[in-house]
Amino acid sequence: MRICEINDIASVASDLAEGLRARGHDVTLIRPRLVGGRLPWSVKPVVGPVRAVEWAQIIHTIRSGNFDAVHIHYAYLGMLGVLGKFPYVLHCHGSDVREIRPYTRPMVLRALKEASHVYYATPDLAPFVTKRRPDAEFLPNPVDAGAFRPLSPARESRRVFIACSLTDIKGAPRLLNACRRLADERPDIGFTAIGGGEYTRDFARLPNVRLIPHQLRSQLPRIIANHGVVLGQVLLGVVGMAELEAMACARPVVAWFTHDSAYPEPPPLVRALDGYDIAHAIIRLVDDGDLRQSIGDASRQWVSTHHDAGRAAEVVEMAARQLMSHR
């Protein structure tokens, strides 16, 4: 089949594209520029004309590309299929359905309604998506366990890598509280974090935190390998690609997760919610190399089983074949 993947959220589309190619399909990946994507919602309509030109170009590419199936990532972008009058599979990823704005609400609802099939990437999105599409499916994000693999044993390092962005939605204030506690209680425990979120300056003031600039995805396995513990998001009760890729690198991940029922077996995460619990979970892992290693090994096995890229590609392939049969 000729399949088009549109919009590479958290590298999910590119990983699916590789998985589909491995299954013998011809896959094109389109990465919209999404001009003005970081602007405040109040001024986003200003870039509407520029977006309209880009959307028209994408629609032309799709309609002239003789694709058998189109898989669109991010809810409101499903309007490409609505406006272009071509069938599509829609994939919801988070804020696209969790934080619907007045500007995007009509587009999101229309895109959900007219999609041939709908997936959502994390289990917390179910209430938002299934309200409009009861047939929507949870599709665990594909993790490239070949690229994200253990380059060193977890027991070799006592340093902590903060894998998530330093933002409110990831629970950065709670992570900051834990780092502050440990700066006083255990100044020997060092952290590394990638700067860029709204709490970057707060973390930069701490003596136990080293900030590094945004990294290419290809560099992340090496960075993770230099740390024995990974600290992830602690607000929404889910884990994203950053945490999953760290687990694939056989690292214990401290995070908050509340959706065990979404999987046949719960993930071997070290669960902590507030600054006190996070700090003490980190101390326990830093002080026990064998514990780091055993949880890390179990984490890689769990991700390989439940977030297998080949399995995710197979699921999308089935949706694409079903879409073809109804054209």
Which domains, and CATH codes, for the chain?
2-142+308-325 (3.40.50.2000), 154-306 (3.40.50.2000)
**Position 100 pLDDT exceeds 60:** yes
Percent of the chain with pLDDT over 90: 89
**Position 42 pLDDT exceeds 70:** no
Q: Token digits for 212?
A: 């590094």
**Position 38 pLDDT exceeds 90:** no
Q: Which residue shows structure tokens 């070949």?
A: 146
CB 125 within 8 A of CB 92: yes
**Position 284 pLDDT exceeds 60:** yes
Q: How far apart are CA 199 and CA 176, in angstroms?
A: 8
Q: Which of 169, 162, 164 is nearest to 208 (CA)?
A: 162
User: What pLDDT, on a 0 to 100 scale, did the predictor assign at position 180?
Assistant: 99
Window from 100-104, 113-117, 287-291 with minimum mean pLDDT: 100-104
CA dihedral of residues 161, 167, 171, 174 (deg, nearest 10): 70
**Position 241 pLDDT exceeds 80:** yes
User: What pLDDT, on a 0 to 100 scale, did the predictor assign at position 45?
Assistant: 63
Average pLDDT over residues 172-193: 99
Q: Which residue shows structure tokens 């973390």?
A: 203
Q: Which residue shows structure tokens 């340093």?
A: 159
Helix (H) or strand (E) holding 323: helix 309-325
Average pLDDT over residues 190-213: 98
User: What pLDDT, on a 0 to 100 scale, did the predictor assign at position 59?
Assistant: 97
What value does the mean pLDDT of the chain take?
94
Q: Which of 144, 202, 142, 150 is nearest to 178 (CA)?
A: 202
CB 300 within 8 A of CB 145: yes
Q: Which of 222, 231, 254 is nearest to 166 (CA)?
A: 231
